Structure 1
Amino acid sequence: MDMDMASSGMFVPPQTLGTVLCCICGVPMEPNPANMCARCLRSRVDITEGLPRHAAIVHCPECSSWLQPPRSWLRAELESPAPSPSACAASTNPYLASCALVHGEFVWTEPHSKRIHVKLRVQREALHGAILEQSHLVEFTVQDRLCESCSRAQASPDQWVAAVQLRQHVPHRRTFFFLEQLILRHGAAARAVRIKETSSGVDFFFGHRSHAMKFVEFVSGVVPVRRRSDKQLVSHDTKSNNYNYKYTFSVEICPICREDLICLPPKVSNSLGNLGPLVICAKVSNSILLVDPETLRTAFLDADEYWRTPFGALLSSRQLVEFIVLDVKEKTPEVTVSGSRYCLARVEVARMSDFGQNDTTFDIKTHLGHLLKEGDVVLGYDLYSANSNDVEMDKYKGFELPYAILIKKSYEEKRQRKHGKQRKWRLKRMQMEVDDGARGRGSEEKRNNEYEEFLRELEENPTGMLDQMTIYKNKDHRPSETASMLSGDDDLPLDELISKLELSDDEEGEEDEDMAQ
């Protein structure tokens, strides 16, 4: 109707809100149920009456968690957005149940004063239905007390409820180094009361069965595993019908690793569309990516399919041999599979050990045609002189092995130029105890060498791995005055990733202690 009147040209007077005088000071104001202005209302009514100005909050110094009555613990750092100040105050003060919390913020205090100041804005009905908002400062006194899991661990490290035994039956620990970074990034082992490294894997101990089950589910989602569980009766009370068990979860990781050469069993090859039989493991996640280096056919093998017909690797990365590329020809268009590029090409190579000694060369197909050029050094498997006693290989009658299969390009020359140069990045490590069976000078030296090889692998082939890790800035790195003028001589394209990430002093101390063990 107003629109019709405005369109017809009639004058529409503006609507004004009437004002009344405050019954106390006579100031014009908008009407409210109390007929008093905000200043007079605050002077006569205090909505924060009954709200405590001092309270206590319980903090666990071991795991940095805070008690939310009656028994729940919430893990958060000081002045972190979770939990919010309002939620923290509401959970520790039952008096705030009668008020509406509008906003809350931390007020700076000395970090070592054991005091936390939280400024709250609360709303409450004042007089005759009038709503009043007012700020209220609460001082929390931090009281240190161990939570149930930490107190159990402090009393006796063996007081665990559930243990996860993570194993992989391979002669190296590359998978555990990669899995360690995934666990740290997602905080999967944050509730572990103890972590122990053994000669064949890692053991994780938890204070609750649900925490162990959640960790097993995480591991099952990132690597192909098979698992089994068992429980042992510790004690029981026949009168109250209470039973206490210790649970053990055995998790076995698939022994197939990236860059392994595999001879597929005939049953598996037929199920994958007659793939292979010689294939390369290109990627391992919750499934295994298999690539035929002579046809570029690919297939994904999940954990259930693998454990129905398990098989091992024909040759592993420890048996790689250096070849030199003499000629590259007959390239095909590039294809992309799971974020990795491949190009089929025919190349002529010779073993580095034979180069200059004899004229033995091999004309082979490779899936690395987009990376190789004449004079490059490449790592591959020498099948010409290898003695393979694989049972699955004997099942293929009349199958002729290729002379060699190339796996990856070698960056040994660039590595030698960087010898002695500090990396400008670093990785965080888990704080683990070392089992007596894994101690010893030889074991420690082997573990350090394998970790250095893992870091080199990140430098040489960062695609597909860095997006799953958290890279930190190395504060000890000092750029060289005589920087190399060669292009591509940087450690890693990580400037954007590590620019704002640094390990704290406590984390660095834990890492140094872990490496020392």
Structure 2
Amino acid sequence: MDMASSGMFIPAQTLGTVLCCICGVRMEPNPANMCARCLRSRVDITEGLPRHAAMVHCPECSSWLQPPRSWIRADLESPTLLSLCLRRIHKPLSRLARLVHAEFIWTEPHSKRIRLKLRVQREALHGAILEQSHQVEFTVQDRLCDSCARAQASPDQWVAAVQLRQHVPHRRTFFFLEQLILRHGAAARAVRIKETSSGVDFFFGHRSHAMKFVDFISGVVPVRRRSDKQLVSQDTKSNTYNYKYTFSVEICPICREDLICLPPKVSNSLGNLGPLVICSKVSNSILLVDPETLRTAFLDADEYWRTPFGALLSSRRLVEFIVLDVKEKSPEVSVSGSRYCLARVEVARMSDFGQNDTTFDIKTHLGHLLKEGDIVLGYDLYAANSNDLEMDKYKGLELPYAILMKKSYEEKRQRRHGKQRKWKLKRMQMEVDDTARGRAVEEKKNNEYEEFLRELEENPVGMLDQMSIYKNKDHRPSETASMVSGDDDLPLDELIAKLELSDEEEEEDEEDMAE
């Protein structure tokens, strides 16, 4: 029978209180019969805990020593640094108290002091648990780590070198790789970076760092690599040897927008693709597109180097055409983030426009972009003189009059001539080899870099999202400023909203451009 339904009174349960044996304050009972204030005044639970400690910091690479020999990179007030600090006082802390909470107390970055505020619990009198705050001050001692010490002693003292090469007459691939390396910090442990006439050399203090860098490059572009080592010194008594390692990495010479005539063996392995195809995208594999049928295929590094081939025509051979008519559009097709639409168009060379009546009726994969009156860049196969050996292997091959590659934005580019971009890219600090110096070489490199920036603006899809772009502080917006399609099509304000180059980085970039 329920006692509440029977009308019986049930008194509410209350927790009894007692008086503190010291100050007489009413409190909940505990084994010591003292309030928390009186307990703290008579018992210090932080007694024996360290109040001072030391941390060893490398000012060159911003890494911290984790005894006995490990160096770990960590920023100020980062979770990694907090973990390192707690390890320094772990033994006495775990033996005397229980850690509840830990946080940094702000100090000046140049003060060489790091302060931690800890909340610890410990048993006081007669089993009473008391919680109290405790501060620990770490003194920062500067000392170069082993890698930085070797670099400071002799900049040429390296253990492993990575020689990055690509046998093409331009540096477009290296400009793109530079941004990927900066985005992912792949060359952060490089002792020295040297630019040569045919590529870039990276020097590392450890063989493992070089191998990790080579693995990164292999994951973003199709390469083949080989390694070698040279004996520097040896100690026969202790059976120790010192080697210098060299990694030779050759990048595939096929670049985006190249026109390719596939060898018969490769064409057959890809399902009789082509044989005339264009390179639409280069990552760790090559995306090939047949512009007349929109058939596509991916060619990875192993397949390419098994039967290597070159480009029939490169982007330096592009010619301007004007679109006279667009006919017979087919539905759009999306491949690896790029859109294509097969169409038949009538075009004429800009050099012939108004001079003669020579026109070409051709198929193109750019039907979704073109309309009458547009200027488009393409390969003029009607007037091209090619001696490609792979093409001679196809008997009866009929070449199209032209193959269109991309829409031209020269008109918009001229309207924006002299105006600064509202974004900029960060550059790597590289030494320049004597063979790569010279006024003509520098002018050629600057022109190629400007073409690379224009390519980012005109074809941003799939490229800008792999880079870190920064605000240009010198940019002054104007109502009459006309940006090219990259700025109009992409929300650049969202991409660069939180990224700004520091003053030191801007000064370093200006010095590189001046050199």
Q: TM-score, normalised by structure 2?
A: 0.92
Residue pair 1:108, 1:117 contacting (<8 A) in 2 also: yes
How many angstroms does 1:74 deviate by? 1.8
| Whole-Å separation in 1 of the counterparts to 2:5 and 2:364 | 79
Cα separation, partners in 2 of 1:43 and 1:496, compared to 1, 3 Å: same
Corresponding residue of 1:173: 171
| Whole-Å separation in 2 of the counterparts to 1:322 and 1:15 | 93
Identity of aligned residues (%): 90
Corresponding residue of 2:186: 188
Residue pair 1:195, 1:432 contacting (<8 A) in 2 also: yes
| Whole-Å separation in 2 of the counterparts to 1:11 and 1:361 | 106
Residue pair 2:183, 2:468 contacting (<8 A) in 1 also: yes
Q: CA RMSD in A?
A: 2.5
How many angstroms does 1:71 deviate by? 1.6
| Whole-Å separation in 2 of the counterparts to 1:312 and 1:8 | 99
| Whole-Å separation in 1 of the counterparts to 2:161 and 2:229 | 10
Query: Is 1:478 aligned with 2:476?
Result: yes
Q: Deviations over 1:48-103 (max 9, x none)?
A: 22233333222211111222222222212223343xxxxxxxxxx86566443333
| Whole-Å separation in 1 of the counterparts to 2:38 and 2:349 | 94
Q: Deviations over 1:194-235 (max 9, x none)?
A: 111111111111111111111111111111111111111111
Cα separation, partners in 2 of 1:43 and 1:259, compared to 1, 3 Å: same
Residue pair 2:412, 2:482 contacting (<8 A) in 1 also: no
Q: Secondary structure at the match of 1:506?
A: helix
Cα separation, partners in 2 of 1:243 and 1:341, compared to 1, 3 Å: same
Residue pair 1:226, 1:251 contacting (<8 A) in 2 also: yes
Corresponding residue of 1:399: 397
Residue pair 1:226, 1:252 contacting (<8 A) in 2 also: yes
| Structure 2 unmatched runs, 5+ | 81-90
Cα separation, partners in 2 of 1:491 and 1:298, compared to 1, 3 Å: closer
Q: Secondary structure at the match of 2:2?
A: helix
| Whole-Å separation in 2 of the counterparts to 1:217 and 1:263 | 30
Q: Deviations over 1:220-278 (max 9, x none)?
A: 11111111111111112112211111111111111111101111111111111110001
| Whole-Å separation in 1 of the counterparts to 2:407 and 2:154 | 51
Corresponding residue of 1:429: 427
Corresponding residue of 2:300: 302
Cα separation, partners in 2 of 1:247 and 1:130, compared to 1, 3 Å: farther
How many angstroms does 1:133 deviate by? 2.4
| Whole-Å separation in 2 of the counterparts to 1:455 and 1:7 | 85
- Which range moved further: 297-306 or 33-42? 33-42
| Structure 1 unmatched runs, 5+ | 83-92
| Whole-Å separation in 2 of the counterparts to 1:363 and 1:12 | 100
Cα separation, partners in 2 of 1:258 and 1:488, compared to 1, 3 Å: closer
Residue pair 2:53, 2:138 contacting (<8 A) in 1 also: yes
How many angstroms does 1:424 deviate by? 0.5
| Whole-Å separation in 2 of the counterparts to 1:53 and 1:67 | 20
How many angstroms does 1:491 deviate by? 8.8
| Whole-Å separation in 1 of the counterparts to 2:434 and 2:42 | 73
- Which range moved further: 342-351 or 46-55? 46-55
Cα separation, partners in 2 of 1:41 and 1:380, compared to 1, 3 Å: same
Residue pair 2:457, 2:487 contacting (<8 A) in 1 also: no
Q: Secondary structure at the match of 2:446?
A: helix
Residue pair 1:424, 1:491 contacting (<8 A) in 2 also: no
How many angstroms does 1:115 deviate by? 2.4
Residue pair 2:326, 2:370 contacting (<8 A) in 1 also: yes
| Whole-Å separation in 1 of the counterparts to 2:309 and 2:513 | 34
Q: Secondary structure at the match of 1:7?
A: coil
| Whole-Å separation in 2 of the counterparts to 1:321 and 1:216 | 37
Cα separation, partners in 2 of 1:133 and 1:374, compared to 1, 3 Å: same
Cα separation, partners in 2 of 1:130 and 1:236, compared to 1, 3 Å: farther
Q: Deviations over 1:452-503 (max 9, x none)?
A: 1110000001000111111111111111254459998749530111112101
How many angstroms does 1:7 deviate by? 11
Cα separation, partners in 2 of 1:331 and 1:249, compared to 1, 3 Å: same
How many angstroms does 1:44 deviate by? 1.9
Cα separation, partners in 2 of 1:36 and 1:229, compared to 1, 3 Å: farther
| Whole-Å separation in 2 of the counterparts to 1:384 and 1:394 | 17
Q: Deviations over 1:5-57 (max 9, x none)?
A: 99999988766555444443343444444443322222222222223333322
Cα separation, partners in 2 of 1:376 and 1:506, compared to 1, 3 Å: same
How many angstroms does 1:109 deviate by? 2.4
Q: TM-score, normalised by structure 1?
A: 0.92
Cα separation, partners in 2 of 1:77 and 1:263, compared to 1, 3 Å: same
How many angstroms does 1:138 deviate by? 2.4
Cα separation, partners in 2 of 1:443 and 1:31, compared to 1, 3 Å: farther
| Whole-Å separation in 2 of the counterparts to 1:463 and 1:455 | 13
Residue pair 1:282, 1:289 contacting (<8 A) in 2 also: yes
| Whole-Å separation in 2 of the counterparts to 1:400 and 1:279 | 14
Corresponding residue of 2:209: 211
| Whole-Å separation in 1 of the counterparts to 2:5 and 2:339 | 67
How many angstroms does 1:442 deviate by? 1.3
How many angstroms does 1:136 deviate by? 1.9
Residue pair 1:459, 1:491 contacting (<8 A) in 2 also: no
Residue pair 1:423, 1:491 contacting (<8 A) in 2 also: no
| Whole-Å separation in 2 of the counterparts to 1:469 and 1:32 | 62
Residue pair 1:124, 1:132 contacting (<8 A) in 2 also: yes
Corresponding residue of 1:139: 137
The alignment of Structure 1 onto Structure 2 pairs a total of residues equal to: 505
| Whole-Å separation in 2 of the counterparts to 1:390 and 1:429 | 37
Cα separation, partners in 2 of 1:130 and 1:226, compared to 1, 3 Å: farther
Residue pair 1:459, 1:492 contacting (<8 A) in 2 also: no
- Which range moved further: 426-435 or 479-488? 479-488
Cα separation, partners in 2 of 1:66 and 1:516, compared to 1, 3 Å: farther
| Whole-Å separation in 1 of the counterparts to 2:291 and 2:24 | 91
Identify the match of residue 330 of structure 1 among 328, 344, 368. Answer: 328
Residue pair 1:56, 1:141 contacting (<8 A) in 2 also: yes
Alignment of 1:112-511 (within 5 A): 112-480=110-478, 482-484=480-482, 490=488, 493-511=491-509
- Which range moved further: 323-332 or 221-230? 221-230
Cα separation, partners in 2 of 1:131 and 1:237, compared to 1, 3 Å: farther
Q: Secondary structure at the match of 2:4?
A: helix
Q: Secondary structure at the match of 1:463?
A: coil
